Structure 1
Amino acid sequence: MTPQAEAPAKRTDRIVPLRGVRGMIADKMLRSLSEAAQLTHHADCRADALMARKAALAEAGIKVSVEDLILDRVVATLLNHTDLNGTLKGREVHLSGAVHLSIAMALPGNLLVAPAIFNSETLTLEERSVARKDLADRARNNKLTVPEMTGGTFTVSNLGLSRVRYFTPILNTPQIGILGIGRIDEVACPDGKGGMEFRPVMGLSLTFDH
């Protein structure tokens, strides 16, 4: 006789109110999509030099993450492409001479914050790494300040540790640009000799106010 399958455990419906911080995040993202003409460009980026630099720094006793190295290049890029580093206020684009770099961070409870490292162009790679870790620690302990939460001029959202290679980051309004970082894959690339070789390639997604 075939044994009778057990009935699945009864699961109840749930209602999750969007209130408090979750409600504020939901409202802000909805406003962002309704108030800004958002466009996202996706591209691949060879990560050979990035990984080689990380290895060289590690040999020299300097421990930084891939994210720290990406942030370093983002800051340098914004100093050369200043039209992406700023905020929209009414009918005016306010471009900032300093890079107040916001970093998107996921928190328990499906919360998302993006505090800023102020004047990040004045910091060394190691100093910026320390500042990023400090923001993350204070974010987890609910100790971020209002200026840190609202004073950024450009945001980076890093999903490099996930399976996501490209995505569509939503503008952290009133900022006019946000860069999404995807995972690094080994991809077949031309070797310059008529053949192919595998190289690390990272997915990038840049959303900007058109």
Structure 2
Amino acid sequence: SRRRAPHQPGRFLSPLVLSIAREEGVSMSALEYLPGTGKENRVTKKDILDYVAAGKPSLVPQAPVAAQPAPLEPEPVPAKAAPAAIAAPAPAPAPAPTASNQAPAAKPAPSVSGGQELIEMDRMRKMIAQRMVDSVRIAPHVTSFVEADVTELVNWRNKHKDAYKKREGENLTFTPLFIQAVARAIQDFPNINVSVDGDYIIKKKDINIGIAVALPSGNLIVPVIHKADQLNLNGLSKKVNDLANRARTNKLTPADLEGGTYTLSNVGSFGNLMGTPIIMQPQVAIMAVGAIKKKPAVIETPQGDLIGVRQFMFLSHSYDHRVVDGSLGGMFVRKVADYLEQFDPNTTI
């Protein structure tokens, strides 16, 4: 028989697992007790599909039941001449289905008028929608903004990108440079690298940075670079390119999507200057990096101030105000900007 998992009220359930549960009519109480084979006993896609294939056996422990009297034998129908017999008690009606054991009723499709098209969300879009709604409901979002002068960073990339492409056969993008700065800032401010479980804060040892990747379908997926702080720029560049390519060709594995502790979203790739990203639960912060633009700026020199053309970008840092206050959230994004502005032009890759 299937071994019961210990009760884990409020255990983390991925949007994919929740989506399958809704479609297959698996109750939340069953999910609480379903054995998980994933990291930290999390329920995986295979776990819930195996449970459904097994006929959804009962997993919730039953409350102790008081001893019941032996069932009464059915009373024979009395003859007309016999005295009236006491009727046996009618059997109790079957309990009505409850919200916990009843599959959610499908909502009827909305009606549309002429000239409109009705498109049902695919499974991934439903998952994204539910995840975003849950995050806004769970976490009070605050966003801090910093503008960074990344002129040295841009010049360095322009100097090395062609040789890197020739040597590695891959593009040298800005994303690994941003990830490196974020990972270093997390080392300086480890209380950003946490999650929340009820009244407890869980501090993460590993720095696992998710990168938001737009898919050809218009959907979004967030593969994870595990232990990003332990990779050099070349390692980060290869990892970013590999995950992005496999995401767009639908070749990511479940392990590629698990364990993220912080997320980076490059809205600049769409020409956006800044954004207010929504936190990936159960993380507590996320950063959006905007497009790099040339701007006139005051340059301080020993001979006095000058006006010059510099390369600037905005960093937008959204954080969960339950556990990250404005001081920590603001200092963190400022530190990321400092690492980008102070990039060493002699860095090798």
With the shorter chain as reference, the TM-score category is 0.7 to 0.9
Amino acid at match of 1:127: G
Q: How does 1:31-42 map to 2 (within 5 A)?
A: 31-42=134-145
TM-score, normalization: structure 1?
0.88
Note the 1:104-123 alignment, pairs <5 A.
104-123=212-231
For 1:83 and 1:121, how far apart are their aligned partners in 2? Answer: 16
Please say if 1:174 is aligned against 2:277: no
Letter in 2 for 1:15: L
Contact 1:54 1:69 in 2 (8 A): no
Distance 1:58 1:34 in 2: 42
Aligned AA (2:131): K
Q: Distance in 2 between matches of 1:30 and 1:152?
A: 19
Q: Which runs of 4+ in 1 moved over 6 A?
A: none
Question: CA–CA distance in 2 between the matches of 1:209 and 1:40?
Answer: 9
Give the counterpart of 1:129 among 225, 230, 237.
Answer: 237
Structure 1 contact 18–26 (Cα < 8 Å) conserved = no
Equivalent-residue separation in structure 1 for 2:295 and 2:202 (angstroms): 39
Q: Which has the higher contact order (CA 8 A, sep 6+)?
A: 1
Q: Does structure 1 residue 101 correspond to structure 2 residue 209?
A: yes
Q: State the match for 1:49 in structure 2.
A: 152
Offset from partner CA, 1:91-111 (integer Å, 9 cap, x none): 222221211110000002220
1:156 and 2:264 are equivalent in the alignment: yes
Question: What displacement does 1:35 show?
Answer: 0.4
State the AA in 2 paired with 1:102: G
> What secondary structure, in the 3-state scheme, does the structure 2 residue paired with 1:42 have?
strand
In structure 2, C-alpha distance between the alignment counterparts of 1:188 and 1:93, rounded to whole Å: 44
**Higher mean C-alpha displacement, 151-160 vs 68-77:** 68-77
In structure 2, what is the Cα distance between the partners aligned to 1:196 and 1:123? Answer: 38
State how far apart, in whole Å, the 2-side matches of 1:94 and 1:148 are. 21
The alpha-carbon deviation at position 19 of structure 1 amounts to: 3.6
**Could you give the per-residue CA deviations for residues 56-99 of structure 1, whole angstroms, max 9, x where no partner exists?**
4448x345211221111111111111111122222222221211
Aligned positions of 1:73-84 closer than 5 A: 73-84=181-192
Task: Give, as a single letter, the amino acid of the residue that structure 1 aligns with 2:175.
Answer: E
* Aligned partner letter, 1:152: G
Alpha-carbon RMSD across the aligned residues, in angstroms, is 1.7
Q: 2:129 is aligned with what amino acid?
A: A
Distance in 1 of aligned mates of 2:239 and 2:227: 11
Q: How many residues align?
A: 199
Aligned-partner SS, 2:270: coil
Aligned-residue sequence identity (percent) comes to 28
In our comparison, the structure showing a higher alpha carbon Rg is 2
Q: Match of 1:194? A: 305
Q: Is the 8 A contact 1:69 1:125 kept in 2?
A: yes
Bigger mean CA deviation after superposition, 87-96 or 149-158: 87-96
Aligned residue identity for 2:243: L
Between 1:135-144 and 1:195-204, the stretch displaced more is 135-144
Match of 2:343 in 1: none
Ranges in structure 2 where 5+ consecutive residues have no aligned partner: 1-113, 166-171, 322-349
Greater fraction strand: 1
Q: Is the 8 A contact 1:182 1:202 kept in 2?
A: yes
Question: In 1, distance between residues paired with 2:230 and 2:306?
Answer: 43
Measured in 1, the distance between the counterparts of 2:294 and 2:215 equals: 30
Q: Match for residue 205 of structure 1?
A: 316
Give the distance between the partners of 1:198 and 1:165, measured in 2 at CA: 18
Residue 140 (structure 2) pairs with residue 18 (structure 1): no
* Pair 1:30-2:133 in alignment: yes
Q: Any idea what SS the aligned residue of 1:13 has?
A: coil
The structural deviation recorded for 1:205 is: 0.4
- State how far apart, in whole Å, the 2-side matches of 1:136 and 1:186 are: 27
Q: Which runs of 5+ in 1 are unaligned?
A: 1-10
Structure-2 residue corresponding to 1:86: 194
Q: What secondary structure does 1:127 align onto?
A: helix
Q: TM-score, normalised by structure 2?
A: 0.54
